[in-house]
Amino acid sequence: MRVIGLTGKTGAGKSTVAAFLKEKGCFIIDGDKIARDILLPGEPAVRELADVFGEDIILPDGNIDRKKLAARAFANTESTDMLNRITHPRITEHFIKERDVAEKNGYKIAVIDAAALLESDCKKLCSFFVVVTAPEEIRLERILKRDGITKEQALTRIKAQKSDEYYFSQADYIVKCYPPHNLDEELESLAKELEL
């Protein structure tokens, strides 16, 4: 079974590409879902994050106040690195379990869909990297629409990510998810590359 890494900056269009690959018969491992699961009440990461980012990130019901955590974790590179050091090993563990499920169920391709894939240990699980890209102004618009946050919060998230060059230098394939590029053509071209 091949493991494909699907990544790109926030708001680039990874979910659109993941949905297409799922339609084509790939097993999708959703990094956002796994990142949420490791932050459920009682999970060890919750306690560690509270120790670093403040007790008040834990709500009375035991859930994490995601907006508060994001505001602190993406405030600067050091904070983002700390967040990643706490969460990435647990996320990798979950990815490995999901990959094994895909293999057991006879899938030919499993896709790890994760924004911080290239900075994590999960990178080692992949043999091919697809990077989804879009200009910053388009990504900003998408994030504001999708997440219901302020422009300032969205820009903080955008600035916390690596440069385009960082992503492109590690890409085996790049999907341009913005006009004037035709998304259907971009996706069909990707399908051909992956022999789907």
For residue 180, whether the previous peptide bond is cis, meaning omega lies within 30 degrees of 0, is yes
Domain count, the chain: 1
Q: How remote is the C-alpha of 105 from its chain's centroid?
A: 24
Among the residue ranges 66-80, 103-117, 174-188, the one predicted with the least confidence is 66-80
Report the chain's mean pLDDT, rounded to a whole number.
94
- Burial pattern 33-57, b for ≥16 Cβ within 10 A else e, equals ebbeebbeeeeebbeebeeebeeeb
Q: Which domain holds residue 55?
A: 2-193
CATH code: domain of residue 70: 3.40.50.300
Structure tokens at 148: 């219901």
* pLDDT tens digits along 146-194: 988 999 989 988 988 889 999 999 999 999 999 999 999 999 999 999 9
The pTM of the full predicted model, rounded to 2 decimals, is 0.85
Percent of the chain with pLDDT over 70: 100
